[in-house]
Amino acid sequence: MADIIKRAMCRWCHSQCRVAVSTRDGRLLSIDEDETDPRREMIFPSTRACPRLRAAKEFVYHADRVRFPLKRKGERGENKWERVEWAQALDDIAKKLELIKQSYGPESVMVTSGTGRTMLWPRLRFMNLFGSPNAVGQGTICYAPVLTCASAIMGWNLAHRTSLVISPECKSVFLVGINPAQAYQRLWKSVRDAKKRGVKFVVADPQLTEMAELADIWLQLRPGTDTAMLLGMIHVVIEDRLYDEDFVRKWCYGFEELVDRAREYPIERVAEITGVSSGTIRQAAVMLGKEKPGISVHGMGLEQLESQQDSIQARLILGAILGNLDVEGGDYIGGPPECVTGEQLELSEKLSPEQKMKQIGANRFKLLSWPGRELISKHVKDFWGKESVLRSYAHFPSVLRAIIKGEPYPVRASITTFSNPMVTQPNTKLVYKALKALDLYVVNDFWLTPSALLADYVLPTACWLERPQAEPVLADNRIMAGERALPAVMPGEYEYWTDYEFFRGLGVRLGQEEYWPWKTDEEVHDYRLAPLGMNLETFMREKDGVHFPPKEYRKHENMGGFGTPTGKVELSSTILKMLGYDPLPKYQEPKESPVSLHREAREYPLMLITGGRFQPYFHSEHRQTESIRRRRPEPRVRIHPQTAESLGINDDDWVWIETMRGRIRQRCHIFAGISQDVIHCEHGWWFPELPEEEPWLGGVWESNVNVLMDDEPDHCDPKSGGWPLKSAICRVYKCRMYGSVGRSQEA
Ligand SMILES: Nc1nc2c(c(=O)[nH]1)N[C@H]1C(S)=C(S)[C@@H](COP(=O)(O)OP(=O)(O)OC[C@H]3O[C@@H](n4cnc5c(=O)[nH]c(N)nc54)[C@H](O)[C@@H]3O)O[C@H]1N2
Ligand SMILES: Nc1nc2c(c(=O)[nH]1)N[C@H]1C(S)=C(S)[C@@H](COP(=O)(O)OP(=O)(O)OC[C@H]3O[C@@H](n4cnc5c(=O)[nH]c(N)nc54)[C@H](O)[C@@H]3O)O[C@H]1N2
Ligand code: SF4
Ligand SMILES: [Mo]
């Protein structure tokens, strides 16, 4: 048969590159850049240079890939499996879920999910029809915080960092806790181009990242102190009258309250809190105030703070009063996409109000759970005439505790899809204990990850090459699509189901058949694209799989305001107030820092930040792909040269990193771009080459930084429940190695 070329969309990171895939007889031959993709020039480095893409064949045909459904034999964690048919696995799982539902109620079933790699809604549609509000996920510390905060105070989110382009009209860019060089290669390309045009950059990051190196002003703040810094900058902008008086008068609500709050943050006080000199803070505020219009964008440096809401709110307020909102060259608001959205497909109206109120965490972390979502959605929907794109999450740490303690009620079954909580969720020892205590645990993945190794069923999933795609870009109104390049089933060789097919299969068995009318992913996408007068095939043919509607600026002028209760940008949030929270941002010292825990800090004198993105990996993925692993075989911890010297540690030494919750080992990377009292550990590490059975679980206890991290609900963001991944106290000491990994002794 002749070679076939398909235009697929890669999902091995958030760049979502479209690629041209050559196949013969259903087998992958090669992958190249897709010349029909209008976005192909908008990435640095090019798609062709991407290590994950170059290793695609290794991934797809890897010997360790789970090819058929597996059912546990023996004890959980023994790594003993039998192959079962898909139909049998789904029959069994459905039966068990039904029994658990009868004994404990539908809310005793949870799903866990990771960051966007596939459609997010099928699991929610399944759960809403099943009757459970307990969907948890990484969204609580990644994207949902800003989505919710921006929707609450300005009626929609700003253009997302994955697709943000710095336009020629833009004069300044403020980046807070984000490093596009490693994390967002499209934004990175745009940043590099803008720098050449003379755009000014202000970067707030405790580390000298590639982004910070390129900055005009680098604010090297103490981890977790962003809210103070941002309020200090707001104070300068107000005092120096650098804000947009016209915009504030016409379109903002609560300015006087903001003025009062900002007054509590004179830059001398802020300098003391953050460790950045008052002169530098002032300079940064003045630069952003004078170089307008500007863009501001933040990353995990804010979303993963226990003060995620206050810091994000302050960042959004600063941009708004500067007059950057929805102007050309400023912070663009896309509005709803034209296709059917995931939120419409979720069928959340099928979940009764009583079940919504049972969502674990809803009585406490109201903003990201049902109370906040319903309140915000109402105003957003009234304004835009279309469903919001908000999310609602149960509180993961509280759900884990419910599994263990049975309070507020028992949670007995879990389905994990596109996630590896044993590696990416903090407090791994507790995650382990909870997963082991379940009556039923099902994992949908490509590999026997440390999480999958604890499952009763592991179901092999189709990767992006083996399924078609068509989705809007997060809160943007852009839509992108890709074709299915490889068959998901090769009889006798492998049988992969997409996440959609899996949840449909389960739903159909549990009496939900009428709500799953589309049998394949193709049918789903045809349905979603119908409002554009297209289906997947015509969308690929006529639009090359990309729909970027023309930008419309200053929509508030035509639409009469913003989608909030007051119709204005709420500098003081009426929604936060209605939910019983402080309507304005306020600084609070992290619960675990040398300042708040000065006694403990004698033993744990260093501050630990984690998870800074690095190539060639995406979270806990790709550790088994040899050509990728060879580039970065081992985990690394960044330590300041003087700190290392005082501890007798040399570059490349294995060191123990210890917190009050445990210890792990990583290799020392001497790095002068971090403060002497801060260290940075990589996240996502496990070792697929180590034994799978307990206690090894693929080396999950060796170097996985989440063994060290805290998830205590009292230490999470009080409004949205985010857990702190960028602040802990720790100590570091040399790990004496006598031979290879696994034969070590502590110093
Ligand atoms: N300490 C610390 N922890 C962190 C972070 C940090 O900075 N520091 N970052 C956090 C953030 S922002 C995020 S988003 C999370 C990420 O956390 P997760 O999204 O949970 O990422 P992974 O743990 O890598 O798990 C993803 C799993 O899904 C599988 N997979 C990939 N694609 C698909 C698919 O299409 N379908 C299915 N069914 N499975 C698929 C992969 O093989 C992998 O095992 O980590 C968080 N954890
Ligand atoms: N290669 C690769 N790319 C990825 C991913 C991946 O795993 N690998 N993951 C994707 C996902 S899901 C996400 S969410 C994004 C995340 O991408 P980013 O938002 O860039 O997230 P991080 O690299 O975790 O953190 C960004 C910066 O925050 C800084 N930081 C730490 N603590 C603080 C603080 O208290 N205040 C401030 N201001 N900054 C702080 C860190 O030093 C770091 O440089 O990356 C995406 N892209
Ligand atoms: S993994 Fe590489 S090819 Fe795939 S989307 Fe990311 S940058 Fe693009
Ligand atoms: Mo993320």
Q: Is the CB of 469 under 6 A from ligand 3?
A: no
pLDDT in tens, 239-272: 999 999 999 999 999 999 999 999 999 999 999 9
- Token readout for 20 is 């041209």
DSSP helix/strand/coil, 677:
coil
For ligand 1, atom 3: residue with the closest CA: 424
pLDDT in tens, 599-644: 999 999 999 999 999 999 999 999 999 999 999 999 999 999 999 9
In 461-554, which residue ranges form alpha helices assigned H by DSSP?
499-509, 521-529, 536-543
Q: Is the CB of 148 under 6 A from ligand 2?
A: no
pLDDT of residue 747: 37
pLDDT of residue 139: 96
Instruction: Tell whether the model's pLDDT for residue 570 goes beyond 70.
Output: yes
pLDDT of residue 572: 98
pLDDT of residue 736: 84
For ligand 3, atom 6: residue with the closest CA: 13
Instruction: Tell whether the model's pLDDT for residue 477 goes beyond 70.
Output: yes
pLDDT of residue 665: 97
Tell which phi-psi region holds residue 179, choosing left (phi > 0), alpha (psi between -120 and 50) or beta: beta
Q: Is the CB of 618 under 6 A from ligand 2?
A: yes
Please give the average per-residue pLDDT across 87-105, as a whole number: 98
* In the chain, % of residues over pLDDT 90: 96
Helices (H) then strands (E): counts for the chain? 28, 28
DSSP helix/strand/coil, 140:
helix
For ligand 2, atom 31: residue with the closest CA: 301
Q: Which atom of ligand 3 is nearest to the CA of 50?
A: 2
Q: Which atom of ligand 1 is nearest to the CA of 141?
A: 12
- For residue 479, the cross-strand partners are 472, 547
Instruction: Tell whether the model's pLDDT for residue 100 goes beyond 60.
Output: yes
pLDDT in tens, 220-235: 999 999 999 999 999 9
Q: Is the CB of 709 under 6 A from ligand 1?
A: yes
> Cα(188) to centroid of ligand 1, in Å?
22
Q: Is the CB of 726 under 6 A from ligand 1?
A: no
For ligand 1, atom 29: residue with the closest CA: 418
Question: What is the rounded CA–CA span in Å between residue 153 and residue 151?
Answer: 6
Instruction: Tell whether the model's pLDDT for residue 745 goes beyond 60.
Output: no
> Cα(611) to centroid of ligand 4, in Å?
10
Please give the average per-residue pLDDT across 297-302, as a whole number: 98
pLDDT of residue 163: 80
pLDDT of residue 474: 80
Give Cα 623 to chain centroid, integer Å: 20
pLDDT in tens, 327-336: 999 999 999 9
> Cα(464) to centroid of ligand 3, in Å?
11
> Cα(46) to centroid of ligand 3, in Å?
9
pLDDT of residue 286: 98
pLDDT of residue 744: 43
Q: Is the CB of 112 under 6 A from ligand 1?
A: no
> Cα(424) to centroid of ligand 1, in Å?
6
Q: Is the CB of 139 under 6 A from ligand 2?
A: no
Query: Using alpha carbons only, what angle is made at residue 418 by residues 413 and 680, rounded to the nearest 5 degrees?
Result: 110
Q: Is the CB of 47 under 6 A from ligand 3?
A: yes
pLDDT in tens, 525-560: 999 999 999 999 999 999 999 999 999 999 999 999
Q: Is the CB of 17 under 6 A from ligand 3?
A: yes
> Cα(601) to centroid of ligand 1, in Å?
31
> Cα(214) to centroid of ligand 4, in Å?
24
For ligand 1, atom 20: residue with the closest CA: 419
For ligand 2, atom 8: residue with the closest CA: 618
Residue for token pair 């570091």: 732
pLDDT of residue 743: 42
- Token readout for 149 is 């905060």
Ligand nearest to the CA of 56: 3
Q: Which atom of ligand 3 is nearest to the CA of 11?
A: 5
Q: Is the CB of 205 under 6 A from ligand 2?
A: yes
- Closest to 335 (Cα-Cα) out of 478, 531, 152, 476: 476
Q: Which atom of ligand 1 is nearest to the CA of 118?
A: 35
In 202-341, which residue ranges form alpha helices assigned H by DSSP?
210-213, 226-239, 245-251, 255-263, 267-274, 278-290, 300-303, 308-321
> Cα(713) to centroid of ligand 2, in Å?
23
Whole-number mean pLDDT of the chain? 96
Please give the average per-residue pLDDT across 485-505, as a whole number: 98
Phi, psi of 575, rounded to the nearest 5 degrees? -70, -45
Q: Is the CB of 122 under 6 A from ligand 1?
A: no
pLDDT in tens, 393-451: 999 999 999 999 999 999 999 999 999 999 999 999 999 999 999 999 999 999 999 99
> Cα(21) to centroid of ligand 3, in Å?
14
pLDDT of residue 388: 84
For ligand 3, atom 8: residue with the closest CA: 17
Q: Is the CB of 705 under 6 A from ligand 1?
A: yes
Instruction: Tell whether the model's pLDDT for residue 475 goes beyond 80.
Output: no
pLDDT of residue 739: 55
pLDDT of residue 234: 98
Q: Which atom of ligand 1 is nearest to the CA of 143?
A: 12
Q: Is the CB of 619 under 6 A from ligand 2?
A: yes
Q: Which atom of ligand 3 is nearest to the CA of 47?
A: 3
pLDDT in tens, 127-172: 999 999 999 999 999 999 999 999 999 999 998 888 889 999 999 9
Instruction: Tell whether the model's pLDDT for residue 738 goes beyond 80.
Output: no
Instruction: Tell whether the model's pLDDT for residue 179 goes beyond 60.
Output: yes
pLDDT of residue 476: 81
For ligand 2, atom 38: residue with the closest CA: 177
- Helix 308-321 vs helix 144-154: crossing angle, to nearest 10: 50
- For residue 204, the cross-strand partners are 176, 219
> Cα(2) to centroid of ligand 4, in Å?
40
* DSSP 8-state secondary structure symbol assigned to residue 158: B
> Cα(116) to centroid of ligand 4, in Å?
8
Q: Is the CB of 183 under 6 A from ligand 2?
A: yes
pTM (2 decimals)? 0.97
